[in-house]
Amino acid sequence: MRILLSNDDGFQAPGLIALYERLRSFADVTVIAPEHNNSAKSNSLTLNAPLYVHDAAHGPVAGFKYINGTPADCVHLALTGLLGFRPDMVVSGINNGANMGDDTIYSGTVGAAMEGFLFGIPAVAFSQVKKGWGELDAAAERAAQTVRELSAGLRPGQDPFLVNVNIPNLPAAALKRTLVTRLGRRHAAEKVFRQENPRGETMYWIGGAGVAKDGGEGTDFHATDAGHVSLTPLNVDLTQHSGLVAWRERTGLWA
């Protein structure tokens, strides 16, 4: 089994290294990841600047390729020429922090996986619920197990899938079974942060993400709060299918 592994925290992130170490025990893993942190870059592609690919030579990242671009750039380049083969699965993560509810729209971790999915390849995004890499070993073990289980069901020619997995920061023994969930919703983000720089100019920082607004039963928030690993199958089609009839009836103009 051949896996393309990427992330959005950058090629030196502990979550990427930990997952690589687990996956390589049963798969042929190629790592192509951003040079720097690219969190919240979604599916962004770099069209106005050249991209450079470098090989990491030393330490635990030796053999990783890194690119001065976004997560989606990494997967896009890999699948359009860099790899030279079609991987069986695109895996992204493990991310430093949750990607639940509305986060998935902004997430570079999900963006990397989604790029694989758009190329017709099964793809998985992994995130730890809390930042800081607490209990990373347990998360990497569960993530690798999830990849193994998903890959066991792969059949040639079947429709690809895109799944989003969030793992609570718990020791392996406390980590409960995986539940298939829907995305919850967050409240709107916190207020913008205003500061003055040393030259007296006002600068702004985007505020933190809001707390869960819909964290009800069946959601990713609810499952991970209870210590379960959450697995949400994602769609990319943004069409509001349930609204098509109403929009046609609304005016009668566009039927």
With contacts defined by CB under 5 A, how many residues of the chain interact with Mn ion?
Answer: 4
Per-residue mark of binding to Mn ion, 169-208 (x: CB under 5 A): ----------------------------------------
- Smallest distance from the beta carbon of 110 to Mn ion, in angstroms? 10
- Smallest distance from the beta carbon of 125 to Mn ion, in angstroms? 10
Per-residue mark of binding to Mn ion, 66-95 (x: CB under 5 A): -----------------------------x
Looking at the Cβ atoms of 36 and 86, the one nearer to Mn ion is 36
The one segment of 2-10, 70-78, 139-147, 155-163 that binds Mn ion by CB under 5 A: 2-10
Residues 202 and 146: their CA atoms lie apart, in Å, by 46
Minimal CA–CA distance to 6: which of 223, 161, 17?
17
Looking at the Cβ atoms of 43 and 95, the one nearer to Mn ion is 95
Residue position matching structure tokens 């750039």: 73
Residues 171 and 169: their CA atoms lie apart, in Å, by 7
Residues 102 and 145: their CA atoms lie apart, in Å, by 26
Per-residue mark of binding to Mn ion, 31-70 (x: CB under 5 A): --------x-------------------------------
Question: Does the footprint of Mn ion cover residue 104 (CB under 5 A)?
Answer: no
Which amino acid, one-letter code, is at 86?
R
Looking at the Cβ atoms of 95 and 181, the one nearer to Mn ion is 95
Looking at the Cβ atoms of 120 and 207, the one nearer to Mn ion is 207
Pull the structure tokens for residue 98: 């949750």
Cβ-proximal residues to 229 (8 Å cutoff; 6+ apart), any chain: 142, 146, 165, 166, 167, 168, 175, 176, 177, 178, 179, 223
The one segment of 8-16, 48-56, 145-153, 210-218 that binds Mn ion by CB under 5 A: 8-16
The one segment of 4-12, 58-66, 177-185, 208-216 that binds Mn ion by CB under 5 A: 4-12
Given candidates 8, 103, 135, 220, which one binds Mn ion under the rule CB under 5 A?
Answer: 8
Question: Residue 238's beta-bridge partner residues?
Answer: none
Helices (H) and strands (E) counted in the chain, each on its own, are 7, 13
Residues 90 and 112: their CA atoms lie apart, in Å, by 8
**DSSP category for residue 93:** E
Give the dihedral sign, CA 194/197/202/207. Answer: negative
The one segment of 1-9, 142-150, 161-169, 173-181 that binds Mn ion by CB under 5 A: 1-9
- Smallest distance from the beta carbon of 13 to Mn ion, in angstroms? 8
Question: Does the footprint of Mn ion cover residue 9 (CB under 5 A)?
Answer: yes
Q: State which residue has the least CB distance to Mn ion.
A: 39
Give the strand pairing for 212-214 and 202-205. Answer: unpaired
Residues 82 and 233: their CA atoms lie apart, in Å, by 28
- Smallest distance from the beta carbon of 34 to Mn ion, in angstroms? 10
List residues near Mn ion by CB under 5 A. Answer: 8-9, 39, 95
